A = this chain, B = another copy of it.
Amino acid sequence: MSEQNSTAGRGRRRLSRRRAITLAGVGVAGVAGVAAGAGALTRDGDRAAAYDGAAGAVPFHGEHQAGITTPAQDRLHFVAFDVITKDRDRLVAMLQEWTAAAARMTGGKDAGVIGAVGGMPEAPPDDTGEALGLPPSQLTLTVGFGATLFRDAQGRDRFGIAGRRPAALADLPHFAGDALRPEISGGDLCVQACANDPQVAVHAIRNLARIGMGVVSVRWSQLGFGRTSSTSRDQATPRNLFGFKDGTANLKAEDAGLLREQLWAQPDDGTDWLTGGSYLVTRKIRMQIETWDRSSLVEQEQIVGRTKGSGAPLGRREEFDEPDFAAKGDDGQPVIAGDSHVRLAHPDQNNGARLLRRGYNYVDGSDGLGRLDAGLFFMAYQRDPRRQFVPIQTQLARNDAMNEYLRHVSSGLFACPPGVRDAADWWGRALFS
């Protein structure tokens, strides 16, 4: 494939040169026209100033990475990469290039110059072009490092950072019912692109992949839509593909004290380079939606522990009312069943552990067996998965009545460094310096 492309590329490049000369023959005006057009595009490429709200830009620099407590955007393109070089310097150089491109793209600019670089119309464009004319759309790009970046499957210290692997970046245990597919799990690096326009999110991931050519290779990726959890009190709670409001009890941007306690890695957590960062757990959870759709409303509400309409906990009136786990019906049975999702996932049942969930619905077409291949791409940020995701999921995997409609097919765990402070800073600086 690569050889074939390379050959085709050579033939095409010869043609390009001939045509470049032809264009020169047509007159400098012609070539200048192309260059000016490209230049104009690049200058016009600064799309941030003209837009606000859902079309506007989210600041890239800061204490924490954007895309975590940022009010959840509508669309996701998530990608996990394998690092394919053994050269630490190349990896570092790519992370620096990525950071610069991310700052540009989240700011509403192109990833790089589209037209003739230094007057060389034969160079490939430094931006792929499909986001030209589109607003910034609140694009955020959030990077994470997987355990295999520190030490590979053979135990080798690949880039001289094995000693800096955080203890909390331990492999997740096997959970009851897990049906994980290794080829869409794990990864050395991840990038979460969220935006209100999928073309903007896809453009960003694609340009990072382009920049990383020869250094990283796409391991797996996932598109999502219709965020399933709000991360701010300004957002209404959206619905998952079971038709229920999801993430009512989510950690939210406004909960400053809880965020320190439950979201951000702290100086005394033992990993200096990660202070101000967080851990991301990803789980692709296939939903058996056809089976769910045949179950009754009462059954669905008992499994979830909330009403489908308002999202109120069973026995209560409003969505944000606290569930009353002690309430019993006349028959002595709990109003919110012992195996209901809301009970098992609730902080009260998990030593107070909470998550900042940021998942998205997905539909990957159909499964060849007449069913939609659909579900939830679960993403949750937290300070320490050993005290948060792992015990919660252990509980859910064993007892959740919803499990008969779910299958976990992919899993990932990434340490997400703190924010990029300024133009001199870059993703992973504290880790690699």
A residues bordering B, Cβ < 8 Å?
1, 5, 8-9, 12-13, 15-16, 18-23, 25-26, 30, 34, 37-38, 40-41, 75, 77, 79, 82, 84, 114-116, 121-125, 127-133, 183-184, 197-199, 202, 205-206, 209-210, 213, 217-223, 225-226, 236, 239-244, 288-303, 307-310, 315, 329-331, 333, 335, 337, 361, 363-366, 368-372, 374, 404
Contact = CB atoms under 8 A, between A and B. Distances in A.
Nearest to A12: B299
A329 B220 contact: no
B329 A23 contact: yes
Nearest to A39: B309
A132 B220 contact: no
Given A130-B241, A221-B366, A366-B218, A361 B202 contact: yes
Contact of A296 (B82, B124, B289): B124
6 contacts: A16-B299, A38-B297, A128-B293, A198-B226, A209-B372, A220-B365
Contacts of A197: 226
Oligomeric state, in copies: 2
A76 to B, nearest CB: 11
Contacts of A115: 297, 309
Nearest to A79: B366
B129 A244 contact: yes
A303 B16 CA distance: 10
Contacts of A184: 365
Contacts of A240: 130
A37 B309 contact: yes
Contacts of A307: 34, 37
